[in-house]
Amino acid sequence: MINLILFGPPGSGKGTQAVKLAEEFNLYHISTGDLFRNEISNETPLGLEAKKYMSKGELVPDEVTIGMLSNKLDEQAGKVNGFIFDGFPRTEPQADALDKLLDLKDTSVSLVLALEVGEDEITERILDRAKKSENPRADDLDEAIIRNRFQVYLKQTSPVAEHYKKADKLVTIVGIGSINEIFEKLKDAVNEIK
């Protein structure tokens, strides 16, 4: 199995690149943000809980997120060639939980691809994405919420890179350039471990 993590700040292009990498390497794409938005549109109890945090640009509590991710892994295990995680893990407890969950399935994280993009570029991109979308995400419409998401990333998520650096699994890629240029760089990094 190949299990990839796409790491990086909100709006760094994780979702776009995850879809392309999933297709290229035949992996199952798991976006925790998409899973939460799906729960919200179905008005499930999990969705209602998640919405309280997402609308402010805060992280959904670990136990909720890890539980949802674990269910998804169980549902797909045995059916797929590997996973690409987009937006997970975002905290140290989530990274520990992922190691354990994959270990239970006799597999592990193969590589972490970290996209680097600065705050001003991020804010501009997300506001632009909202403007161009027919159905913009509520958390993309307000600059203060976007900046909070970036701060949450710096404080809670960016330290998680160390977890994978220690394990020699971290590759950093500059996330500025065309979608295809960045995709080529990501693809090369994955091909190196194959």
List of residues contacting ligand ADP (CB under 6 A): 10-11, 32-33, 36, 53-54, 57-60, 65, 87-88, 90, 94, 149
Q: Closest separation between CB of residue 114 and ligand ADP, Å?
A: 13
Distance, in Å, from the CA atom of 152 to the CA atom of 4, rounded to the nearest integer, reads 22
* Closer by beta carbon to ligand ADP, 44 or else 191: 44
* Closer by beta carbon to ligand ADP, 83 or else 88: 88
Greatest Cα-to-Cα distance within the chain, rounded to the nearest angstrom: 44
Nearest in space to 27 (alpha carbons), one of 158, 187, 162, 165: 187
Q: Closest separation between CB of residue 98 and ligand ADP, Å?
A: 10
Closest residue to ligand ADP in the complex (CB): 33
* Closer by beta carbon to ligand ADP, 107 or else 156: 156
Q: Closest separation between CB of residue 53 and ligand ADP, Å?
A: 5
Q: Closest separation between CB of residue 65 and ligand ADP, Å?
A: 4
**Helices and strands: H and E segment counts in the chain:** 9, 5
Neighbouring C-beta atoms of residue 138, cutoff 10 Å:
13
Q: Closest separation between CB of residue 91 and ligand ADP, Å?
A: 7
Nearest in space to 146 (alpha carbons), one of 124, 179, 163, 115: 124
Nearest in space to 149 (alpha carbons), one of 171, 127, 133, 165: 127
* Closer by beta carbon to ligand ADP, 128 or else 188: 128
Nearest in space to 6 (alpha carbons), one of 92, 152, 112: 112
- Helices assigned H by DSSP within 32-178: 32-41, 45-54, 62-76, 92-104, 119-132, 143-152, 160-166
* Closer by beta carbon to ligand ADP, 151 or else 191: 151
